[in-house]
Structure 1
Amino acid sequence: MDANRADYYIEGIESSKFLLENMEGYFGFHANILEIGCNVGRNLNYLFQAGYQNLSGVEISNYATELLKKTYLKLECKATIYNSPVEEVITTLPENGYMIWFTQWQS
């Protein structure tokens, strides 16, 4: 499906805006946040730009994670990005280690 291509995912920010609007007031900037299926990291970068600091993402696509590194340099230095299937990563994460986790959706 073309809508899920990593390079297309960089552009639209409507779902990232929606995510941020619905998090504000509920979670502080130090909340541990995990996005499962983060693709190129657009949602994580949007949260990072808003001031959230403890961000992690899981993405199975090597291409998407390489594009994340090129597109969002500051995020890549600060966030923890797991380039593996979620089934492998989730078993290594601390129980109750994240205040919020979510999966990507398209806008």
Structure 2
Amino acid sequence: MDSNDVRSEWAERSGEYSPTYYAHYGPDETSELVQSILETEVGREASVLEVGCGVGRHLAALADAGFSDLTGVDVNPAALDVLAETYPELAETGSFHAEAIEEYATDVADDAFDAVYSVETLQHIHPDVEWVFDDIARIAGDLLVTVENESGEYGEVNYVDDDIPLYYRDWHRVFTDRGFVEATSSERKRDTVRVFRPSE
């Protein structure tokens, strides 16, 4: 499976882990955690990008908390359709892009966002397009937050439902190698939360 196959799988996803699946659950404790980190580290006036925003449940929690400069990118156009139905006010006030992060980020200016975050999204980036991590680091002005699965051996591949690959990476190394300093990290049941700031 190459990077095009991975993008296609997520862009056409239905059933479990599909847009309607996540819309049913709505904001959760991860949404609250991301909100708390962003409020503490950059404040509600910050410009924020979610990589792999899906139906927008985490961004919706930010909007409810008073954040107003919100952007999301997701490879699945149907996810943004569900977002518009589920969170119409967010859809109207936010900026949303139906494309792969590696397509979107290349045209974004340096330090375009005060904060960039991902929730179990970067773990699905194919090794062929790992260069996108350079762009993610480049556009994150003050803060980068990763909530990603690190439970396997680094370099190992796991498959979701036997078809969607999950690539285990050392996210500390990925982003400290790209000029960031890890401010905090915490292990959770299914993922690791890391908060990065650009090195001085």
Query: What residue number does 2:97 align with?
Result: 82
Picking from 40, 43, 51, the partner of 1:25 is: 40
Q: Which has the higher helix share?
A: 1
Q: Which residue of the partner structure matches residue 8 of structure 1?
A: 21
Deviations 1:23-72 (A, max 9, x none): 22222221010000000000011101100011000011011110001110
Instruction: Count how many residue pairs are aligned between Structure 1 and Structure 2.
Output: 106
Kindly report structure 1 stretches of 4+ aligned residues shifted beyond 3 Å. Answer: none
The equivalent residue for 1:104 is 119
Cα deviation for residue 21 of structure 1 reads 1.8
- How far apart, CA to CA, are the structure 2 residues paired with 1:93 and 1:99? 13
Distance 2:35 2:59 in 1: 10
2:54 matched residue in structure 1 = 39
Q: How many Å apart are 1:18 and its aligned residue?
A: 1.3
TM-score (norm 1): 0.90
Question: Which residue in 1 is equivalent to 2:107?
Answer: 92
Q: Please identify which structure carries the higher strand content.
A: 2
What is the aligned partner in structure 1 of residue 68 from structure 2?
53
Greater gyration radius: 2
Give TM-score scaled by structure 2 length. Answer: 0.50
* Alignment RMSD (CA, Å): 1.8
- Paired with 1:23 and 1:90, the residues of 2 have a C-alpha distance of 21
Gaps of 5+ in 2: 1-14, 121-146, 148-189, 191-200
Q: Does the CA-based 8 Å contact 2:50-2:72 persist in structure 1?
A: yes
